[in-house]
Amino acid sequence: MTRLLPAPDALVGRRLDLALSKMLGLSRAKASDLVAQGHARIMGRRVNKATTLMSGDVIELDEPESTKQVEPVAEDMPVVYEDEDVVVVDKPVGVAAHPSIGWTGPTVLGSLLQRGTHITSMGAQGRQGIVSRLDAGTSGLMLVCKSDLAYKEMRRQFARHEVVKIYHALVQGNLTEDKATIEAPIGRARVSDFRFTVTPAGKEAITHWDVLERFGSATLVSVNLETGRTHQIRVHFSSIGHPLVGDHMYGANPDLADRLGLKRQWLHAMRLEFRHPRTKIWTKVVSSYPADLRRSLQIERQGATGIRS
């Protein structure tokens, strides 16, 4: 099967391999291989991986049927709230929000559909019903819309920052304040295809936080997101010198993560509050820490007690 991908305006003037990596979510090396093997072409032009993408170009991308695999199901993903309009799941770590090229693990959307859950057809192909998402390495509450009415209304609520999104995060070091707000715009980092950074050219991003517990080497905080930018919590805390424990992409100390037995960033979507799209009743859903995060806190508490004694 062949897909046709018009060249995005934002990538005009970039190398073909770099443009493909950004468009498909692949590494630069894998994108280069697609071009070298003839699986990615520009209609009407001879190309190599260094060919510059031009306005009006259409990329032909081969997707052999033989390479497609059945998506695994997240069997252990609890549904914590469901009615005719919305479903809220407690997403485990290692589950993506929706399918994407290069991702072979389970997804929230795919797992719900394979369980027989009806999802609205509204939204981009492969992202139907999704109005906000969590990183694969972040666990916790995520809402998916089942009805068209819910999709329209919840998309509006998220866009207008009317939904309350509370996360708990364990950040490195001892925060000097008990509560504060980080207000700094976030955009893509030039040094990486997948990282984000604080930049004047970015989109508005506001993060409120309160200290819950201090351990000396790390601080447990409750985070209230006023906006919902990609990697917002991770980028904002890294920008003030306190990256999330276990978040190696944004500068976390791997030794601390190893001591706590963490294989991912310590971040959990703890509470979700929204006005129900049909009944207009204010609705609150709460989660609890998964096993790996609970264990790491126990280790930190034991270490902090040992220091005090």
Question: Rounded CA gap, 6 and 151, in Å?
Answer: 27
Compute CA 298 distance to the chain's CA centroid, rounded to the nearest angstrom: 26
Query: How would you label 160-184 residue by residue, b for 16+ Cβ within 10 Å and e otherwise?
Result: eeebebbbbbbbbbebeeeeeebeb
Please report, in angstroms and rounded to a whole number, the separation of the first and last CA atoms in the chain. Answer: 66
Question: Distance of CA 158 to CAs 154, 180, 228, 259, Å?
Answer: 6, 23, 8, 37
For 6, residues 6+ apart whose C-beta sits below 8 A from its C-beta are 57, 58, 59
Task: Retrieve residue 91's tokens.
Answer: 């997403």
Closest listed residue to residue 223, CA positions, set 240, 213, 209 = 209
Amino acid at 41: R
Question: Rounded CA gap, 304 and 216, in Å?
Answer: 7
- Active-site annotation, residues: 135
